[in-house]
C-alpha cells in the first residue's frame, strides 16, 4: 500500500485550505480504532474530513459520510466535547518538510485559536493529538508512554512536543543544480538510494516517479550518469519543487498506485481528495475482504467437517439398526425350537422358517432358551427405537450441511475484491451466520436486521435480457420475494448448493433457447459444481418457488420444474473474456 508522503500531504492540505476554510465543526465520529471523521460545514457545502492514524494508511482527506453505528470510543467523545460548534480556521504544517498538520479551531474566523488538533502522518508512528492554546495535551488517539519511547512520550496532561527534526538536507529551488548533483553523487551508489539518503521529504514512490519521468533506472549507479541524464533528472526535481511552492498539483492514477504530480502516463483524477478517498478505501477494503473471507471459509470448513463426522456416525448407527429384524427372526426361531436347547450351549443352529437355510444363533450359556430369546427381543426393540430416533436427527444434520454448503459456495464465489459490493456481500454472509448463531458477536454490532445490500450480479443474455444472480442467501431470498415477477424464470443447480438466478423477461416474451442455455450456464458456474463439465439446472416460474415457513435463508422448494444441462466452463470462458476485454453490452450467443 502506498503511504502518504510529504508531497501528497501538502497537496491535500492546499486543496483543503482552498475549499474547506473556514468551516464549522458539526459532528465527530470515530469509525474504528484508527480513524475519525469530522463533519464540516462551509457556506456552500457540507462534508466529512477523515483523519486516520492507521499504521499503513495514515491520511487526511474528504471521504463519504461514515456508516451509521454506535461510537463508543473515548477519543471521539473528548473531541466532541471540546471542539463541537467551533470553527476550523487554519490548516498549517508545523514546520517545513514535516508531515505534521496543525488544525486550528477558534470560536469564529479571525479569533485566536483555542484548540490545536495535530495530525501526524508518519507511517506506523502516526497519531492525532488535541492540545489547548498552551499546547498542553488534552487527549490523544494513541498514548505513547516513556517505556515505549524515551525520546518522545505522548501523554495527556503533558506539553506537546514536535517530532524530532530530520537530519537530511532540505530540498530547495534556490539550490544550484550542480550543487544538488554533487550532493546526490557524493558517494557513488544506486540513484534511488542516494536521493533518499541525501534529502528529507522524499518517499520511495516519489523518487521512483522522478527517476522514471527522467527515463532512468533507479538502480543505476550515480557515477555512470551522463550530463544529459543529470539534466533530465534535475528538470524533474525542479518541477517537483515548483509544484510544492506554487501548490499546483495534478492528481492522477498510476498502474501501481497514484501520484499528485500527474506526469506522463497518469490517468487524471477529479481531485486530490477523491484520489486519496478512493485509493485508501479500496486498499483497506481489500485487506478487510481478504481477512473476512479467510475467517468465514475457515469457520464454515470447521463446522462442515464436524457435521460430516456426525452424519457419518448417524449413518453407521442406522446401518446397525437395520439388524433389528434379524434379531427378532432369531428370537422367533429360538422360541419355536425350545425343545432343541441344551444347557451350556454357546450357539445353536436352526432352519430358517422361509428358506430352510441353517441360521446360527449366538447364545449366553448362563441363560436358558427363553431368557436368550427375551434378550434377542430386547435388542430388536432397542435397535428399532434407535432407528426412529436417528432418522430425524440425520435429516436435521443433512439439512444443516446443505445450508452451510450453500453459504460456503457464496463465500468461495467472491474470490477477489473488485468493488465495494464484494465486501458488502461477505459482510451480509457474516451477519447471516451471526443471526443463525454460527458466529459469535461479542460487541453486539451485527445482531440487528441491517439493510441488506441488493447489488445482485448482473449479466445480459444474447437477446438482451437481464440476468440477476444472488451474491448470498439474503439476496437469493430477495430475488424470489421482492424482485421476481410472474413473467420471469428462476434457475438453480439441481440438488447442488448454488446461487439463485433470475432471468428477467417482459410480459408475453418467450426466451430463445440461447437465452435459456446462457442463463443455465451461469447458474451452473455459480454453484458448488463449477468445476464440472455439465451440471443439471432446473428452471421454473417464480410462482412455483416457495420458501418453507421457518426455513433458513436461501432455502426454497419448487415444482413444475424443467431441466436443462448447464456448462459452467463455457460461462467461465465468457466471463474471463469479458473481464479482460473492453466492456461489452451483450455476450456472444451460445448454442444450446
* Confidence (pLDDT) at 181: 93
* Confidence (pLDDT) at 263: 77
Burial of 484 (0-12, 13-18, 19+ CB in 10 A): buried
Q: Are 55 and 128 in contact (CB under 8 A)?
A: no
Q: Are 524 and 566 in contact (CB under 8 A)?
A: yes
Summarize pLDDT for 223-277 with one digit per residue, the tens: 999 999 999 999 999 999 999 999 999 999 988 899 999 876 788 999 999 999 9
- Grid coordinates given for 425: 456481500
Name, in order, each residue with C-beta under 8 angstroms of 227's C-beta and a sequence gap of 6 or more: none
Tell me the whole-structure pTM to 2 decimals. Answer: 0.78
Angle at 367 between CA 363 and CA 372, to 5 degrees: 50
Which is it for the CA torsion 423, 431, 496, 471, positive or negative?
Answer: negative
- Quote the CA–CA distance of 131 and 196 in Å, as a whole number: 33
Summarize pLDDT for 547-562 with one digit per residue, the tens: 888 888 888 999 999 9
Residue segments in the chain with a per-residue pLDDT below the cut of 50: 447-451, 582-592
* Confidence (pLDDT) at 447: 47
* Confidence (pLDDT) at 70: 84
* Confidence (pLDDT) at 354: 81
* Confidence (pLDDT) at 35: 95
* Residues 116-147: b if buried by 16+ CB within 10 A, e if exposed: bbbbbbbeebbbbbbbeeeeebbbbbbeeeee
* Confidence (pLDDT) at 379: 81
Q: Which domains does the chain have, with CATH numbers?
A: 6-140 (2.30.310.10), 177-269 (1.10.8.50), 283-451 (1.10.287), 457-580 (no CATH)
Residue with grid cell 490517468, as numbered in its chain:
267
Summarize pLDDT for 147-200 with one digit per residue, the tens: 888 788 999 999 999 988 777 889 999 999 999 999 999 999 999 999 999 999
Burial of 294 (0-12, 13-18, 19+ CB in 10 A): exposed
Angle at 118 between CA 170 and CA 242, to 5 degrees: 35
Q: Are 361 and 350 in contact (CB under 8 A)?
A: yes
Q: Are 488 and 503 in contact (CB under 8 A)?
A: yes
- Quote the CA–CA distance of 397 and 498 in Å, as a whole number: 19
Amino acid at each position: 500500500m502506498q503511504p502518504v508522503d510529504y508531497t501528497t500531504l501538502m497537496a491535500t492540505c492546499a486543496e483543503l485550505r482552498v475549499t474547506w476554510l473556514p468551516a464549522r465543526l458539526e459532528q465527530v465520529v470515530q469509525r474504528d480504532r484508527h480513524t475519525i471523521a469530522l463533519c464540516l460545514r462551509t457556506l456552500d457545502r457540507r462534508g466529512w474530513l477523515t483523519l486516520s492514524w492507521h499504521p499503513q494508511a495514515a491520511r487526511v482527506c474528504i471521504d463519504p459520510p461514515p456508516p451509521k453505528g454506535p461510537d463508543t470510543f473515548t477519543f471521539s467523545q473528548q473531541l466532541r466535547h471540546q471542539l463541537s460548534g467551533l470553527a476550523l480556521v487554519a490548516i498549517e504544517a508545523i514546520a517545513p518538510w514535516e508531515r505534521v498538520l496543525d488544525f486550528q479551531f477558534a470560536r469564529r474566523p479571525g479569533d485566536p485559536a483555542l484548540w490545536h488538533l495535530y495530525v501526524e502522518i508518519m507511517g506506523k508512528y502516526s497519531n492525532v493529538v488535541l492540545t489547548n492554546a498552551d499546547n498542553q495535551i488534552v487527549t490523544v488517539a494513541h498514548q505513547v508512554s516513556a517505556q515505549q519511547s524515551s525520546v518522545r512520550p505522548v501523554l495527556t496532561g503533558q506539553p506537546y512536543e514536535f517530532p524530532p527534526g530530520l537530519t537530511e538536507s532540505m530540498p530547495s529551488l534556490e539550490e544550484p543544480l550542480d550543487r544538488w548533483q554533487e550532493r546526490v553523487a557524493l558517494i557513488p551508489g544506486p540513484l534511488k538510494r542516494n536521493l533518499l539518503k541525501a534529502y528529507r521529504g522524499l518517499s520511495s514512490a516519489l523518487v521512483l516517479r522522478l527517476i522514471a519521468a527522467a527515463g532512468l533506472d533507479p538502480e543505476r549507479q550515480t557515477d555512470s550518469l551522463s550530463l544529459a541524464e543529470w539534466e533530465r533528472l534535475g528538470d524533474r526535481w525542479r518541477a517537483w519543487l515548483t509544484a510544492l511552492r506554487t501548490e499546483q498539483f495534478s492528481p492522477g492514477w498510476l498502474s501501481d498506485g497514484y501520484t499528485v504530480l500527474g506526469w506522463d502516463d497518469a490517468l487524471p483524477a477529479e481531485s486530490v481528495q477523491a484520489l486519496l478517498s478512493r485509493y485508501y478505501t479500496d486498499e483497506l477494503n481489500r485487506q478487510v475482504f481478504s481477512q473476512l473471507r479467510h475467517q468465514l471459509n475457515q469457520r464454515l470448513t470447521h463446522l462442515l467437517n464436524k457435521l460430516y463426522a456426525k452424519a457419518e456416525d448417524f449413518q453407521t448407527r442406522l446401518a446397525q439398526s437395520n439388524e433389528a429384524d434379524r434379531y427378532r427372526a432369531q428370537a422367533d426361531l429360538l422360541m419355536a425350537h425350545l425343545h432343541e436347547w441344551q444347557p451350556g450351549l454357546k450357539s445353536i443352529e436352526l432352519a430358517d422358517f422361509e428358506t430352510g437355510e441353517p441360521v446360527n444363533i449366538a447364545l449366553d450359556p448362563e441363560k436358558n432358551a427363553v431368557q436368550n430369546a427375551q434378550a434377542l427381543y430386547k435388542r430388536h426393540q432397542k435397535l428399532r427405537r434407535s432407528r426412529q430416533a436417528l432418522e430425524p436427527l440425520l435429516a436435521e444434520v443433512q439439512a444443516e450441511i446443505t445450508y452451510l454448503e450453500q453459504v460456503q459456495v457464496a463465500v468461495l464465489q467472491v474470490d477477489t475484491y473488485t468493488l465495494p459490493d464484494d465486501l458488502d456481500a461477505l459482510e451480509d454472509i457474516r451477519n447471516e451466520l451471526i443471526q443463525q448463531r454460527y458466529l459469535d458477536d461479542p460487541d453486539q454490532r451485527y445482531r440487528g436486521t441491517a439493510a441488506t445490500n441488493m447489488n445482485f450480479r448482473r449479466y445480459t443474455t444474447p437477446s438482451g435480457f437481464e440476468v440477476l444472480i444472488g451474491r448470498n442467501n439474503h439476496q437469493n431470498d430477495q430475488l424470489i420475494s421482492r424482485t421476481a415477477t410472474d413473467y420471469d424464470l428462476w434457475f438453480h443447480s439441481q440438488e447442488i448448493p448454488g446461487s439463485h438466478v433470475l432471468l428477467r423477461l417482459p410480459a408475453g416474451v418467450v426466451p430463445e433457447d440461447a437465452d435459456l442455455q446462457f442463463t443455465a450456464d451461469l447458474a451452473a458456474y455459480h454453484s458448488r459444481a463449477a468445476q464440472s463439465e455439465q451440471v443439471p439446472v432446473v428452471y421454473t416460474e417464480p410462482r412455483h418457488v416457495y420458501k418453507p415457513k421457518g426455513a433458513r435463508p436461501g432455502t426454497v422448494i419448487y415444482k413444475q420444474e424443467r431441466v436443462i444441462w448447464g456448462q459452467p466452463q463455457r460461462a467461465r470462458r465468457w466471463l474471463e473474456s469479458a473481464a479482460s476485454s473492453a466492456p461489452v453490452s451483450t455476450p456472444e450467443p451460445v448454442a444450446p
